[in-house]
Amino acid sequence: MTLDAIEPYLGSLDKLLHTTRNDKGKEYVQPALKNLGSVAIPLIREVIAPASFRNADPEITDILDLDGARRVRAVANKFKYGERSRGLQVLRYFGAGGSMPQNKTAFASEDRPSAAYDLNTIVFGDSANHGKRVLPVKAAAQYSDALSIQSYGDSVDASFHIRAAEDGTLFDAEDKENSSNIFERHVLLPGTLLVQTISFNGRTAPLLALEHLLLSIGLAGAYGGQTSVYGVNVRNHIVGIYATRFERDIASPYVALGEIPKCAVGRGAIEDVQKALADRFSDAATEKVAGDDVRRLQTRMIDNLEKNDAGMRKRYTEAHGKIGKFFDEWFAGFGQRK
C-alpha cells in the first residue's frame, strides 16, 4: 500500500524552494508558495492507562463544545510533544538529523542552519536564535485540540498522593514538623476516547514528511507530561487519510464530534466512532486512504525500521541532504562554515 492518491495534494522534496525577486529585480529564495491541497488525518486517542492532560491547575483541562457539553480538552502540544520526540529519535537512528535536543535548538555563530534543522523541523516546526536573529520555521503538521467523545464527568477521576519521608511518615525530621505534602492528581480514565485531527495545508510539505509523521505516531504512546513517565498510556487509531483541494470544517474536532452517534458515545466503542468519522470524512474528501491501509503502512514502516532496512535508511539520508540544502539556501547568510 502506498500513498500515491494523496501525493498530488502535498509538496515535492525537490521543490521546497521558490525563487522570486524584489522591486529592484534582485532574486532571492523562500519556501515554496502555498498551493491548493489539504490532507487531513483524523485520529482517535484511546486512553489505556491513567493519563493527565492539564495546565497549571491540578484538574484536567476542559472546554464546553458547540452544544454546551463539558468535554476533556487536550491542547495540541500534549500529543505533538511526544511525537516530535519520537521523530527526532528516528532521524538519529538513521543518521539523518536530530542533532539537537528537543526544545533546545541552538546555533553557534558559524553554523549553517542545516546543522540543526532537518525533516523533523519541517514536520513539527522550530524557532531558534542565530546570533541576533531568529530562524522561524512553521510546522507543516497542524495539530487540532483533542476532545473527548465522553463527557468530562465520565472521563476523569482523582486520587490523593502523599510525598512521605523515607521512614514512611509525614514527619519532617529537619523542621520537626508534620509535613503537608499531600496532593490530588486528576487523570483520564482508561477507555476515554479523544478525537483529534492533524492537517497538512498548502502543499508545502513533501510526502516523506507525511510518512515521517505516521511513523512517529505509530511509535509513540506515552503522553501527558506528568503521567508519561509511567510508559505507554494512549493507543492511537488513525481513521484514515483524506485529501481535498480546500480544508473542510470536518477537520475541526468541534465539528467532527457532532457526527458521532449518541449510542457510540455512550458505549465508547472505537469501531463505531471510527466508522462514523470515516463516513463523514469520506463524504467530504476527493481522495482517501482507508484506516486499515494506513495501519498496514505503519506496520510495514515500523518493521523496516526494526530491521534497519537499507532502502529506508537511504531514503532518509538522501532526503536529509536535500532538506539541509533547503534550509541553508532559505536562510542564506547565516553561518559561514563550509
Distances (CA, A) of 248 to 149, 180, 207, 251, 286: 20, 51, 21, 6, 11
Strand partners, 128: 135
175 lies in some domain: no
33 lies in some domain: yes
The sign one gets for the Cα dihedral 279, 281, 287, 289 is negative
Tell me the residue range of the domain where 294 lies. 7-156+191-330
Rounded to 5 degrees, φ, ψ at 4 are: -55, -40
139 lies in some domain: yes
Q: Report if pTM > 0.85.
A: yes
Contact 131, 153 (CB under 8 A): no
Q: Which of 256, 246, 255, 245 is closest to 278 using CA atoms? A: 256
| Residues 60-87: tens digit of each pLDDT | 888 877 677 899 999 999 999 999 999 9
In this predicted structure, what is the pLDDT of residue 337? 44
337 lies in some domain: no
| Residues 103-160: tens digit of each pLDDT | 899 999 889 999 999 999 999 999 999 988 899 999 999 999 999 999 888 888 876 6
How many distinct structural domains can be found in the chain?
1
167 lies in some domain: no
Residue with cell 483524506: 242
Distances (CA, A) of 42 to 66, 109, 149, 270, 321: 19, 41, 14, 13, 31
What value does the mean pLDDT take over residues 211-225?
Answer: 91
| Residues 237-252: tens digit of each pLDDT | 999 999 999 999 999 9
In this predicted structure, what is the pLDDT of residue 1? 63
